[in-house]
Amino acid sequence: MEHVETTDVLVIGGGLAGERCAMEAASAGQDVVILSIVPPRRSHSCAAQGGMQAALGNCLMARGDSPDIHYLDTVRGSDWGVDQEVARIFAEEAPVAVRELAHFGVPWTRLRPGKNTSFIQGRRVELDEPQSKAGLIMQRDFGGTAKWRACYAAAGTGHAVLYAMDSQVIRLGINVRDRMEAVSLIHEGGRCWGAVARCLRTGRHRAFFARATVIATGGYGRIYGQYTTNATINEGTGAAVALDTGIVPLGNMEAIQFHPTGLVPSGILVTEACRGDGGYLLDRKLQRFMVAAEPEKQELASRDVVSRHMMQCMKDGRGVETPFGRHLWLDLRHLGERHLDSKLREVRDICRDFAGLDPAKDLIPVRPTQHYSMGGVRVDKDGQAYGMAGLFAVGEAACWDMHGFNRLGGNSLAETIVAGRIVGRSVSGFAAGSSLSVDTELALGCVRDAEERSRSWLARTGTGPCVYEIRDAIAETMVNKVGIFREGKELQLAVAELWKHLARIDQAVLRSKAPGMNPELSFALRIKGMARLALVTAMGALARTESRGAHFRVDYPLRDDASWLKRTLVRWHRDAAGPEFSYEPVGMIDVPPGERGYGSAARIEMTVPVAEYNSRVAAEQQLQGRHGTSEPTGSRMKWGAATGNKPPHDTVGGMDE
């Protein structure tokens, strides 16, 4: 039994979503183990800079804000790709989540009464904040939102929130195992029983047998290699082990967000708060191009829209040419030293350290860079993975799905905490209601399989390709052919190339046979999963013959609500040669598809009435493997509350279960 540990709840991933979920389960009395590939405080959550969206409505520019408006912004931002009920649940709970973090010690920037200088749509304005709101949590502007809503701690919001959350995990005595990587799920007959983990100190394997298992491993941005803002650890390992089960589907993998302002050439994130606080995007002649492109929102349209305008601007010859490729400028000089040193100090640090410049005096070279994975392990509103009992997913690793085809800035940090709370409750309820009969043979069998995979890598000899070379080839294919502007022929080429890269992995040979964790072996054990994720991303993009949010097809430039108001699902059955795609309705519709208020307004209209669409949702999702949820589909919707539309009466209330 020395290779098998047991626990009530196993959380794979020690970032914000995983820790908040673990905390909820531990507070309910469950034994919880967190596996984390790095010490939790080094998780990529710490890199979130600008803010966390929650409709607190404290400052003048946030006045009148409400969960209704946050919900509407989120649906519009997603280009109607979200599950609207999930977006509603999220918007309602976000303010409580932010206040709870204040309780846990997050030093939120607070409202300063009196004159506050700001830049709005290129104009300097003085906002006279009332004494009555002094000291409440402050908000700043972000893209695609009707109100100032992003709560923040300078430009280190993710860091501050992660440290507060991890302090609670330490306080609760949760068993955190760092440098442990889940390499496969233990499952049998559609029931998940934990995971096999590989120790990144020793290279040894161990089974964690659990009543409930949660995937919280973040995104898969590293399939774009160095062309991402993501940390080196965001390799999609959680999505990959879910795909490996052959049963659990991944949702909307082609929905990849490019952030407008990745620093050139390193690709490090420069927060959207720079533009929220009044920063400009400039072309090589130092002209603001976003004013003409988006007269209403200007630099603060949604990320997909701004990124496309930037790419077009560079295609039109207005970019700055450098040995590291083309870029545009981000201008913060007018914000002043005091603002940069207080509210954007981390941006100033990053510019100094990685570009040798000072944003108070210099322009910042930026270009759109892969940033966020809207897709992930497909789960229902309780966080349960489709097709597998006892398996949950939360945060960026999941496709819950409150982001659809474009996530709004500040909504991801908010998702980690809100979803962590909700999924944590559902996980502990599930664990409490299920018995644990440890099947040592099943667990040890999975350990042996994992050990065998390591052994077979080490046993390979010859002159095959190196795993890093394949990684780079995958990245080149993804960034050149599955990027911001996508096109059928290019995507076909991408799929063909990715099949070749995938096949070459079987010929790859390790350069080092060193015992222990062996960094090359550690990476080799992930590369096939990454190649598969890249392939299903490209295939999903090829199949989706429309443009929605971040998925833009030059050959199908319109959003097509007649044919594509649906979510892509992909499974890779065991022993199957390739993936299998299917589709489901996005969820019940309360806000009918319409204009976003930025980007192109042209689209193909829905052909079926909303009520009819809604009537099919529950049954069609169940066919795709959705379990029964704690409450029926649509039960948390506040029909018509945000739109003033009459509720479609035949869709109110329960449709299933």
Q: How far is CA 399 from CA 10, 252, 436, 560, in A?
A: 19, 7, 28, 21
* Per-residue tokens: 208: 């964690």
Q: Is 231 in the site for other proteins (CB under 8 A)?
A: yes
Least distance to other proteins from the beta carbon of 507, Å? 17
- Among 147, 159, 504, 544, which residue interacts with other proteins (rule: CB under 8 A)? 159
Least distance to other proteins from the beta carbon of 654, Å? 26
275 is annotated as an active-site residue: yes
Q: How far is the C-alpha of 407 from the C-alpha of 509, rounded, in Å?
A: 39
**Per DSSP, what are the bridge partners of residue 333?**
none
Q: Is 475 in the site for other proteins (CB under 8 A)?
A: no
Q: Is 636 in the site for other proteins (CB under 8 A)?
A: no
- Taking residues 22 to 41 in sequence order and writing x for each that binds other proteins by CB under 8 A, - otherwise, the string is ----------------xx-x
Pairing assessment for the beta strands 205-215 and 4-12 based on DSSP bridges: parallel
Least distance to other proteins from the beta carbon of 586, Å? 30
Number of chain positions touching other proteins (CB under 8 A): 70
Of 206, 259, 326, 486, catalytic: 259
187 is annotated as an active-site residue: no
Helix axes 519-543, 467-481, angle to 10 degrees: 20
User: DSSP letters of 133-190?
Assistant: GTTSBPEE--TT-SS--EE-STT-HHHHHHHHHHHHHHHTT-EEEESEEEEEEEEETT
- Among 23, 72, 94, 111, which residue interacts with other proteins (rule: CB under 8 A)? 111
- Among 64, 107, 557, 653, which residue interacts with other proteins (rule: CB under 8 A)? 107
- Among 22, 87, 300, 350, which residue interacts with other proteins (rule: CB under 8 A)? 350
DSSP 326: -
Q: Is 96 in the site for other proteins (CB under 8 A)?
A: yes
Of 275, 504, 596, 603, catalytic: 275
Least distance to other proteins from the beta carbon of 323, Å? 7
Neighbours of 424 (CB within 10 A): 30
Name the region of 60 (left: φ>0; alpha: ψ -120 to 50; beta: rest): alpha
Peptide bond preceding 632 in cis form (omega within 30 of 0): no
Q: Is 115 in the site for other proteins (CB under 8 A)?
A: no
Name the region of 610 (left: φ>0; alpha: ψ -120 to 50; beta: rest): alpha
Enumerate residues 545-584 that contact other proteins by CB under 8 A.
Answer: none
The total number of residues written for the chain in this structure: 657
- Taking residues 167 to 206 in sequence order and writing x for each that binds other proteins by CB under 8 A, - otherwise, the string is xx-xx----x-xx---------------------xxx---
- Among 71, 90, 119, 163, which residue interacts with other proteins (rule: CB under 8 A)? 163
Residues 151 and 98: beta-carbon distance below 8 Å = yes
Residues 12 and 195: beta-carbon distance below 8 Å = yes
Q: Is 365 in the site for other proteins (CB under 8 A)?
A: no
Q: Which residue lies nearer to other proteins by CB, 25 or 165?
A: 165
Which of 252, 247, 253, 318 minimizes the C-alpha distance to 281?
318
Q: Is 46 in the site for other proteins (CB under 8 A)?
A: yes
Give residues with Cβ within 8 angstroms of 266, minimum separation 6: 354, 355
Q: Is 104 in the site for other proteins (CB under 8 A)?
A: yes
Q: Where are the alpha helices (DSSP H) in 460-518?
A: 467-481, 488-505
> What's the order of all strands across the beta sheet hosting 398-399?
398-399, 376-378, 250-251, 566-571, 580-585
Q: Is 353 in the site for other proteins (CB under 8 A)?
A: yes
Q: Which residue lies nearer to other proteins by CB, 57 or 593?
A: 57
Least distance to other proteins from the beta carbon of 460, Å? 13
Stretch of residues binding other proteins (CB under 8 A), selected from 43-51, 79-87, 441-449, 481-489? 43-51
Enumerate residues 506-535 that contact other proteins by CB under 8 A.
Answer: 510-512, 514-520
Q: Is 645 in the site for other proteins (CB under 8 A)?
A: no
Least distance to other proteins from the beta carbon of 588, Å? 27
- Among 16, 59, 160, 185, which residue interacts with other proteins (rule: CB under 8 A)? 160
Least distance to other proteins from the beta carbon of 161, Å? 10
Half-sphere exposure (CA, 13 Å, Cβ side) for 237?
Answer: 26
Q: Where are the alpha helices (DSSP H) in 297-391?
A: 303-313, 337-342, 345-355
Least distance to other proteins from the beta carbon of 21, Å? 17
Q: Is 459 in the site for other proteins (CB under 8 A)?
A: no
Q: How far is the C-alpha of 639 from the C-alpha of 462, rounded, in Å?
A: 64
Stretch of residues binding other proteins (CB under 8 A), selected from 265-273, 370-378, 393-401, 567-575? 265-273
Q: Is 389 in the site for other proteins (CB under 8 A)?
A: no
Instruction: State whether residue 80 is helix, strand or coil.
Output: coil
Give residues with Cβ within 8 angstroms of 603, minimum separation 6: 558, 559, 560, 561, 593
Stretch of residues binding other proteins (CB under 8 A), selected from 84-92, 134-142, 410-418, 567-575? 134-142
Least distance to other proteins from the beta carbon of 312, Å? 28
If you search the block for the tokens 């999505």, which residue do you land on?
Answer: 239
Residues annotated as catalytic (active site), given as ranges? 259, 275
Residues binding other proteins (CB under 8 A): 38-39, 41-44, 46-47, 96, 98-100, 102-105, 107-112, 134-138, 153-154, 156, 159-160, 163-164, 167-168, 170-171, 176, 178-179, 201-203, 231-233, 265-266, 268-269, 323, 342, 346, 349-350, 353-354, 466, 468, 510-512, 514-520
